Structure 1
């Protein structure tokens, strides 16, 4: 077959922002916004990439030695990682990549592109046994994070590959649980404020780990995975004032995520309870990690005043987007209230299936 269609959804984080780089769990879900990669065999020795949404075209000669530039190039890093897995391109493709996922908005457009690229390459060149959601996610994670020694975690790649709502233990021996509970009433709102993902993540990760290591030095057998929020004052005795907010945020967000998982495992979801946990999660992100900006604060305040059950910033912070949980009957008034703050966009979304790839007879 000469034509391949690879699709990857965006994602939003419901619980666990700034937790995955600490090896702590997250709860995230895919949304019905997508990256679409359409590939047609060209029988050349290169991939011709056309990204009309951002007006970029390029050729990648796959027979050349891969030299990664200083600025991240995930198309090349993926080829390098996949080569180690035995995926060796032997024919070129004309590739068009389009998307409905907002760029630089905290909904993982870049990770969706990487997942779609990984899927395409494996479908075209094998090994076919790696075309499973977990394998695709792991390869995308290695290509996007490990290959560049970036500070990110595994949430984006695994959420996008597996789909639905997932609970992900992000430590070395990570466990993933797909939650199939229907979750209605989700809203995504874009601030339009650009963010410095890598720089912000690096600072927060370093300070959070520094705080955890200080506690480990002073409390025998301490593990953040076993720590309890009720013992916070005991842990504070080990820390200087500048590190306390990072530790409290790590422990508080961990506690919130565990409580949220308990709610998601119930037969009937209590949206009010889940919303209140989202609000508590946002408290830690805003007041302790201080990752919000005035536009984000205004959007969240407006959503809650208009009847939202819960609202929080998504992703690394410093801009980007928020996710809101509402009852269906309040959806439009919440959207109107958010847009009235000057938000770039706001729209209802639904939980989506995971990434997928297949040969096609026509486009």
Structure 2
């Protein structure tokens, strides 16, 4: 059994989904794969040749022994859906997706794992993509009380270009997948995803709490004129940036729904979105900025940091000159990947 699942980039709504705001994300043509089969005993063995590790445990011992013990949590979540595993399994995970770089590599692996488990059960089940995304989110985020949203898991399962709302209920809409070519640039800088997510999330949740004192009917989806007197100047800037990025997504959505969206217009909005992430949330780095500047100088239409930030990846929108933009990223020390929209998780 072999499963293949894509990474993702976030076009609009970065650092917004965990506030309940919508996102526009795109599954990309860099994928992770899991291949494996059942064993005759109860051992679970996962080979990870990309990082030179092998993990193993028994099906009857799913006590977590490390932070983010995802392979055990995946089995627990699937067992909660009444899947039964009488036999263990042995598998190998490989990936083209940059690891810990903000491109959804861990979520692609988790989606692969949930999809794989659905087929390794005593009675295999044919869950749809949204169900796999829901269970992957539970196993990766909710099970460990982590601060992330659900963009990564649903992008990996559904594929292509998506508009995702998480409030008041989960709503997923497919958009025009024919935006053309992007260039992903990996800064190869290590990043601390959890601490950045917690800082950006917790700061803004506290801001919202303060605003509700003076604005009892406050709603982040609809607010326009807000009494910001409870906030200091820094908090006012963070709140205004959050609303600006909310509005950039709203402006972009009708364009992305067109059969022939305007590439230049989209590129400009990507760069505007990045400016808030850089200047207000302060999640960019000098190297990411050098890669973005090099991309724009080489003719890219726009771009932004991708993922939580503090390192990791950026991407540039370059539908007509991807090779030149990729070379420009490499010249300033990044590792480049020419990417496009791709399908969601699938059995190979």
Matches within 5 A, 1:1-363: 4-64=1-61, 66-125=62-121, 131-228=127-224, 231=225, 234-328=226-320, 330-343=321-334, 345-357=335-347
Deviations 1:23-51 (A, max 9, x none): 00000011111111001222121122111
Contact 1:168 1:177 in 2 (8 A): yes
Contact 1:41 1:91 in 2 (8 A): yes
Q: Which range moved further: 241-250 or 150-159? A: 241-250
Contact 1:9 1:34 in 2 (8 A): yes
1:347 aligns to what SS in structure 2? strand
In 2, Cα distance between equivalents of 1:226 and 1:174: 18
Show structure 1 runs of 5+ residues with no match.
359-363
In 1, Cα distance between equivalents of 2:8 and 2:222: 28
Ranges of 4+ aligned residues in structure 1 off by more than 4 Å = 126-130
Q: How many pairs align? A: 348
Q: C-alpha displacement at 1:87, in angstroms?
A: 1.6
Q: C-alpha displacement at 1:267, in angstroms?
A: 2.2
In 1, Cα distance between equivalents of 2:265 and 2:160: 20
Distance change >3 Å, CA 13–CA 267, structure 1 → 2 = same
Distance change >3 Å, CA 71–CA 177, structure 1 → 2 = same
1:268 aligns to what SS in structure 2? coil
Q: Which range moved further: 297-306 or 282-291? A: 297-306
TM-score, L = length of structure 2: 0.96
TM-score, L = length of structure 1: 0.92
Q: C-alpha displacement at 1:171, in angstroms?
A: 2.4
Contact 1:123 1:357 in 2 (8 A): no
Deviations 1:40-66 (A, max 9, x none): 2221211221111111112221123x2
Q: C-alpha displacement at 1:180, in angstroms?
A: 3.5
In 1, Cα distance between equivalents of 2:30 and 2:258: 27
Deviations 1:243-285 (A, max 9, x none): 1232122211111111111111122111111111101100110
1:334 aligns to what SS in structure 2? helix
Deviations 1:213-232 (A, max 9, x none): 2222211311001023xx4x
Contact 2:179 2:319 in 1 (8 A): no
1:327 aligns to what SS in structure 2? coil
Show structure 2 runs of 5+ residues with no match.
none
